[in-house]
Structure 1
Amino acid sequence: MNQQGVRWTAEQVLALAPDDASRRAGSRLGTAGPWSGGGSDGSGAVWGLCRGSGKTPYRTVVDTTGPAYTCSCPSRKFPCKHALGLLLVWAADEEAVRGGEPPDWAETWLSGRRAREAKKEEREGRGGRDAGDKGEGAGSGGDPVAARRRAEQRAARITAGAEELEQRLADLLRGGLASADRSGYGPWEETAARMVDAQAPGLAGRVRELGAIPGSGPGWPVRLLEECALTHLLDRAWLRLDRLPEPLAATVRTRVGLTGPAEGPAVRDRWSVLAQYDTSDGRLTTRRVWLYGRSSGRTALVLSFGAAGRAPALALPVGVALDADVRWYAGAGQLRVELGERYADPVPDSGPPPGGSVADALAAYGSALRDDPWLDSWPVTLTGVVPVPEGDGAWQVAGADGGGALPLTPQALARPGLWRLAALSGGRPVTVFGECGHRGFTPLTAWSADTPETVALT
């Protein structure tokens, strides 16, 4: 290990990019040419000045222990192309990024960030949490009566929203599903807006999905009926929440949008970063980061969010391992976690997690559905599978031993990672991590015997 610690690979750096355009722009800046005044220290800081079109170079700083970034450029993307380029230069061990002490302009940001982290750890050590992590009753000034009153008022608004949505679904069925494409998306968006007013973002999201189905291609009435049934089931579950067992009630609260704080003891482990990808509904960007605990054997999901046009702040390079704490949220299959204290810099990972066959993946998804009927997919690792084209643009991953196959989802077919997977395999068996659901399998990461490094497919 050199002075800067373990350096990332170029692939791990590019996995942080918020989109393909940033990935390409960052790659163009990933050489020493446009950089000056660069350096890094033993605590995870990397900095540099990037020449732009103006007279003043852009000042870029990265704290790789986060990772966290800052740059004087006007970009709203996070990380910006300059941060990506700087990390690529650093990853290549170029002379442009030598060891040393950070200059004042970099040290100011680094010191402020580390001071904030220290205060946060101090609060958590006293048993406190940030206001954003308090869930219902945040900002109540510690008044449990006021917090309970607000919780009751929100529950009443959600109940009114669920009852209104039930009426909307009943009207749709009375009018016939085949007529759903005639009214357009407007009525659905209006209903979704009322769910937002009812403080039920989970129901609002499902309504928007329903509105998009009539324009989704052949077979849409069947898909609309399926999703209407699941939405009706969620409505009825909320309206009879007091009759449900607590684990299922916690899942229902999560699905309608009532997410409480992560609770329970922290679990420290060596967490492999298996995958990271973003989705957006035009209003909010959601980043999903999949982790696997090497000692606990548990798979965990970290969610972070960014307003429209801005990437979420949390970014973890795929293919590294973190020595860190996590806390689980209640409900929804016990997958979502809050990432806590990290005890060391990320290090290269040791390979794929344990996996199984296609039949094992389907059994795992089926078992998870018993606890969460609204579950779209479940994280699985497939071993010994080969990507195979089926014709008409369709693909599947099939067991090399003939032990079953899974079709790839439309999302997977639209991603360039499909061709990366096919090239990695070359007709030979590979190990693939992804999400298995009722629409098929979405590969996210892969490993081969010839290429032990983690290959991101998103």
Structure 2
Amino acid sequence: MTQQGVRWTAEQVLALAPDSASRKAGSKLGAAGPWSGTGRSEEGVVWGLCAGSGGTPYRTVVDVPHPAAAASGPAYRCSCPSRKFPCKHALGLLLLWSAEGEGSAPAGRAPDWAEQWIADRRRTREKREAGPADSGSGPADPEGARRRAERRAERITAGATELEERLADLLRSGLATAEQSGYGLWEETAARMVDAQAPGLASRVRELGAIPASGPGWPVRLLEECALLHLLDQGWLHRERLPAALAATVRTRVGLPSAPEGPRLRDHWLVVAQYDTQDPKLTTRRIWLHGAASGRTALLLSYGAAGRSPELTLPVGLALDAELSAHPGSGQQRASLVEQFAPPMPTDARPAGLTTSEATARYGEALRHDPWQDSVPLTLTDVVPTPDGDSWQLADADGDTALPLTPAASRAGLWRLVALSGGAPVRVFGECGHRGFTPLTAWPTGPGEPVRLC
């Protein structure tokens, strides 16, 4: 299949799946057997009828955006009752097109049911693009926005002050009381932070609640996290005394939204990782990019409602000629995609790498700018995955240092990494933090495509 001029692999298509069950079910529908009436349009729309358990086949249509439409992912429509997005039929149709090429979806006129959906999407897109000019709502009210921001800041300050009191109560009564009180104490405190419109504080408070049940040594871990939370509270309460970049980081960490403010940086951005995290209400997609010329690493975020795949999709191994704009904050990698100048294209480029000792030093340096970050993105070069008791580590091929893999490392990804290495050095991109290294993508020492590990 071609999205923005690039033929996708089956792995890239299955990366759109909302969960492992959808990937498995979609793979079974990636053959011609259950499909009929497939076709494609010049605008990048593919459609087909998929036989199901009933007598009426499911109508499935996928719209792959034009290269000028930035890096947004495909849009889907299917008549099946599934609440997952994309459903297994949409994944199967994309896999069929990807594997068989144009012959499996001949060019032609879309059937009425697909044409109606295409027309509705076209009207919605045109209305959205024309919205700011035609709305007639007049200019935004900057004074109203300023007052709303001040009211929210006052609520966050009240919440941070209350949280300081609760942390002080915990220390006075002893850490053992956290185990006796159970998770309810922390959930109630987190709810208070939500009321204060400080979702970042609420998230960190909820993490405290899980520590007493995390195994031996939990009092030390709880004290460390309480200290970081206290530091964030104090940073907010005294933010006017902080350097501008660090104050911006504090605002981001307590949960205030940020808009890109940095100068535009054009580069050929290599897509080095893409993975999703989910909670009951939201799916968050993280896409890591590495600038070929600048050497910068940038993070793009995209969100989707629970059960729906986020819109932004950039398969690993492509390079994107684009401009990014950084979000404010000291040591922050987050950026927004401003403008794309060409379709993403496959590339043999790889990010430069570090030794394991250089990686730990890089993380330590990053903590000076943002003490609350759990990890930093970086690439290890010439490392070998080796067992370390019941766990694994990445050891320097030409040295005597190693980084342990975190418990968050995917077991399936670990075995792919071990198979790719076969005892030989590999290059690995991932996230390095105080718990160890989480591998996300790997490249063999010689020629070869990147292998996703997440």
Same topology, TM > 0.5 = yes
1:99-133 superposed Cα distances (whole Å, 9 cap, x missing partner): 44444433443444455556666679x8x9x9xxx
* Counterpart position of 1:69: 75
Q: CA deviation at 1:374?
A: 0.5
Per mean C-alpha deviation after superposition, the further-off stretch among 36-45 and 159-168 is 36-45
Q: 2:327 aligns with which of 324, 329, 346?
A: 329
Distance in structure 1 (CA, Å) of the matches to 2:118 and 2:333 = 33
* Secondary structure in 2 matching 1:424: helix
Q: CA deviation at 1:61?
A: 2.5
The two structures, once aligned, show a CA RMSD in angstroms of: 2.6
* Counterpart position of 1:221: 219
Q: 1:399 aligns with which of 388, 396, 400?
A: 396
Unaligned runs of 5+ in 2: 66-71
Q: CA deviation at 1:26?
A: 1.3
Q: Are 1:435 and 2:452 matched, yes or no? A: no
* Secondary structure in 2 matching 1:253: helix
Letter in 2 for 1:60: T
Letter in 2 for 1:399: D
Letter in 1 for 2:254: V
1:390-417 superposed Cα distances (whole Å, 9 cap, x missing partner): 112x1101111125210001101x5321
CA contact (8 A) 2:85 2:307 kept: no
Letter in 1 for 2:334: R
Letter in 1 for 2:214: S
1:252-293 superposed Cα distances (whole Å, 9 cap, x missing partner): 000001122223443333322221222234343322111122
* Counterpart position of 2:46: 46
Cα distance 1:183–1:230, how it changes in 2: closer, same or farther (>3 A)? Answer: same
Distance in structure 2 (CA, Å) of the matches to 1:4 and 1:191 = 47
Letter in 2 for 1:418: L
Distance in structure 1 (CA, Å) of the matches to 2:146 and 2:229 = 27
1:142-200 superposed Cα distances (whole Å, 9 cap, x missing partner): 11111111100000000000011111111111121123112111111111111111000
Letter in 2 for 1:106: A
* Counterpart position of 1:30: 30
Distance in structure 2 (CA, Å) of the matches to 1:370 and 1:3 = 41
Q: After the TM superposition, which residues 122-271 of structure 1 pair with which residues of structure 2 at under 5 Å, given as runs?
A: 142-271=140-269
* Counterpart position of 2:351: 353
Distance in structure 2 (CA, Å) of the matches to 1:59 and 1:347 = 31
Distance in structure 2 (CA, Å) of the matches to 1:292 and 1:374 = 23
CA contact (8 A) 2:2 2:8 kept: no
Distance in structure 2 (CA, Å) of the matches to 1:245 and 1:184 = 38
CA contact (8 A) 2:18 2:307 kept: no
* Counterpart position of 2:276: 278
Equivalenced residue count is 445
Q: CA deviation at 1:62?
A: 2.6
1:205-240 superposed Cα distances (whole Å, 9 cap, x missing partner): 000111111112222111111111100000000000
Letter in 2 for 1:149: R
CA contact (8 A) 1:16 1:316 kept: no
Cα distance 1:194–1:405, how it changes in 2: closer, same or farther (>3 A)? Answer: same
Unaligned runs of 5+ in 1: 131-138
1:41-64 superposed Cα distances (whole Å, 9 cap, x missing partner): 454333222222223322223333
Distance in structure 2 (CA, Å) of the matches to 1:304 and 1:41 = 28
Letter in 1 for 2:12: Q
Q: CA deviation at 1:40?
A: 3.1
CA contact (8 A) 1:37 1:96 kept: no
% same residue: 67
